[in-house]
């Protein structure tokens, strides 16, 4: 049986506070010390869940494959929007 995980995007780091955006739900703030040091802004991370559904932050891992996929998906959406924008002022 595979381990259950949740996916977050690291929105920003403010001092020792990391702001995470989950796939579903509201943003979450954590102390930076709760995550592995290599986690940076813009990273997509998978966090395993302990029994009872509690995230195990210290075991969070960056998912670069999903990160690349989401960035490409965003680029495609932006290209689509640019084609529909008569003023040409849509930027990312």
Model pLDDT, residue 88: 65
The rounded distance, in Å, linking the Cα atoms of 42 and 8 is 10
Structural domains of the chain in order of their starting residue, each with its CATH number: 5-84 (2.40.50)
Average pLDDT, integer, range 5-20: 92
Burial class (CB within 10 angstroms; exposed 0-12, middle 13-18, buried 19+) of 62: middle
Average pLDDT, integer, range 31-36: 88
- pLDDT of 32 strictly over 90: no
Model pLDDT, residue 38: 75
Give the phi and the psi of residue 74 in degrees, each rounded to 5. -65, -40
- Cβ pair 79, 92 in contact under 8 A: no
More confident residue, 92 or 76: 76
Model pLDDT, residue 92: 57
DSSP codes of every residue in 45-62: EEEEB-TTS-B-GGG-EE
pLDDT tens digits for 35-87?
A: 887 788 889 999 999 998 899 999 999 999 999 999 899 899 988 888 887 77
- Cβ pair 60, 68 in contact under 8 A: no
């Amino acid at each position: 049986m595979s381990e259950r995980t949740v996916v977050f995007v690291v929105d920003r780091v403010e001092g020792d506070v990391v702001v995470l955006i989950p796939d579903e739900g509201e943003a979450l703030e954590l102390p930076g010390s709760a995550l592995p040091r290599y986690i940076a802004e813009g990273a997509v991370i998978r966090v395993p869940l302990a029994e009872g559904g509690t995230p195990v932050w210290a075991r969070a891992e960056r998912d670069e494959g999903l990160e690349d996929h989401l960035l490409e998906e965003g680029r495609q959406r932006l290209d689509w929007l640019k084609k529909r924008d008569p003023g040409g002022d849509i930027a990312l």
